[in-house]
Chain A
Amino acid sequence: MNRQAQAVIMLLFGGAVLKASLSDLYLRYVKEALQPFLIGAGILLVAAAVLTLWYDLRGGGDQHDGHGHHHEPRVGWLLLLPVLGLLLVAPPALGSYAAGQSGTVLTAPGSDSDYPALPAGDPVDVGLLDYASRAVFDGGRSLTGRTVRLTGFVTPGPDGEPMLARMVVSCCAADGRPIKVGLDGDTRVTAAPDTWVQVVGAWTSRVAKDPVNQAEVPYLQVTGWQEITAPKQQYE
């Protein structure tokens, strides 16, 4: 690969990273805190590409190519793949397929400290991970008597019944693990998989096992639900 081709690929790569990090696209893949670094890296890539082109075009283009040993890395062609991924495909955030592949991530609390009371509100918005931890490790004590509202996407459970799930990410989508909550009660959530919904309901003592990793999956007694548009930050 000659230098102009490398410069064009670098320019595209940097441009794709910049474009993703300046819109909300990067939130599908990494955490929000990485944004300034992504912008910086994108600018550096673009700058290096522009300088390479500048030197090369000013120098006439063939000053070094005569040396047989001056090969340039051909593996660099592969950098076109992430460019395609970011610019053409822009794959969605992890959804029900990934959630079905992995077992629910329910980490035991660091210490046996009490869960603080839920904030005021009726219904009160609770994160899926928070709800599951309170339900499983606290025996639902801090949830009893409260109406909670959970936000997540619909994923088919092992028995075919819809479950509510959300991906939990510690660094990027590659380590995304689902947190799952079963939906109980007469009000059936009939939205298609991967639809984002807000579910209102109350804690129930019902618990099931995730067949993938034998972790406990708590349930919610659903009294109402509605479809929503996917939140900007889809990971929890």
Chain B
Amino acid sequence: MTRTHITTVINGDEVDFLAEDSTSLLDALRDEVGLTGAKEGCGTGDCGACSVLMDDRVTCSCLVFAPEADGATILTVEGLADSGELHPLQQCFLEGAALQCGICTPGFLIAAKALLEKNPDPTETEIRYGLAGNLCRCTGYDKIVRAVQEAAIQMREQ
């Protein structure tokens, strides 16, 4: 199968890569671009471990064909930290022990960022609904919800 030349902006940098048309954006990010933060959990859009922002919208990268990303702006978990300083969400996840095995964490961080951009002061219920597309089999979610609440407070104060 022919490979398509795809031009994107990923985490602020212009990135060109080649991918087969039927390759998922997730596989292209991991195997062609070398960004392995986004994880494959289910591969069917149920678990959210592969979440990225594509043109500012939270998306399961496993459901996107790589050529669809041509011309798109993408943010992966690798782009959250700023010049080595962790994003408030990352810091709050660490301090609140909102992760155990860590497979779901990149997806949660991206989905939480999208949620807080849309709603900077969400209720606990809004956080739980907003993160319903992300599954975690370790934490039981409470620590994740509390970490997002804490990060929301810090981000509003900034």
A and B together in one complex:
no
A contact set with B: CB distance below 8 Å: none
B contact set with A: CB distance below 8 Å: none
